[in-house]
Amino acid sequence: MDWTLSTIQAKIRKLTGRPDTSQLSDADLVSYINQMYTDILPLEVQTKEVEDWFALSVTEALGGSYDTSDEDIQYVLPGNTTCVDSDDASFPVDLTTDYATFFDLYPEDYTTTGRPLDMLLYDQKIYLRPLPDASYTVKFPYVKKITTELANSSDKPLDPTWGPYIAYGAAIEIFIDGGEAVPTTVAAMYQHHEKLIARKQILQTPVGTRAAPRF
């Protein structure tokens, strides 16, 4: 099936028993669909289609904290963070999301400089310690935010397998918001399509490699 926005809309209306716009407006329906597509899906399933490498240029002058709120980072994939110096030598960096432990090790008044060894990702900010003593490039794999919403009837998700997953997931949200019980078949099909996406991700991973763990 060609999972366009209109196809997803039709599927959701059928699943939820809301064929008429008086029961669920098109605008509200599209909002549910894009909530699933841009906000929920990247957190619930591994999405290699939007994985990439991020390169953060850091210098002594900028200090040790960097705002990422304007970047397209959905979340960082741990396990492969590196620091590259001016000679193009690469060194591993330990990544954490534990704010308390990080600042127990590196207090707020920490002033030691050197090649960054540890990185904290917290509240859309990146903290590096030691503070950079020169120019470096910190590289890490990450999942990009899906910023282009489905708007036109012919628009499609980045991957066709996401279509039914979005439809069943949005239907569940509609049932819950309407104070209705989620039908067992809808919940089961949502899980089924989630597993199909996971299976595809596994098949896309080369033999002999392991996927990076997720937060």
Q: What is d(CA 65, CA 119) in angstroms, rounded to the nearest whole number?
A: 10
Answer yes or no: is pLDDT of 116 > 90. yes
Question: What average pLDDT is seen over the chain?
Answer: 90
Least confident of 78-82, 167-171, 189-193: 78-82
Range from 85-94, 161-170, 202-211 carrying the lowest mean pLDDT: 202-211
Q: Give the separation between CA 9 and CA 13, rounded to whole angstroms.
A: 6
pLDDT of 89:
96
For residues 177-200, give the mean pLDDT.
Answer: 94
Residue spans of the domains in the chain: they are: 5-47+159-204, 50-144
* Whether the model pTM is above 0.85: no
| 211: confidence class by pLDDT, cuts 50, 70, 90 | very low
pLDDT at 206 over 60: no
Tokens of 119: 């990185």
Q: What is the mean pLDDT of residues 50-66?
A: 88
Please give the Cα distance from 37 to 147 (Å, whole number).
10
Nearest one of 40, 5, 38, 70 to 176, comparing CA atoms: 40
pLDDT number for residue 79: 76
pLDDT band at 108 (very low <50, low <70, confident <90, very high): confident
| Token pair for 75 | 């979340």
Contact 37, 162 (CB under 8 A): yes
Asked if residue 198 has pLDDT above 90, the reply is no
Return the pLDDT at 93: 96
Copy the structure tokens of residue 9: 């809309």
Q: Provide the pLDDT for residue 205.
A: 58
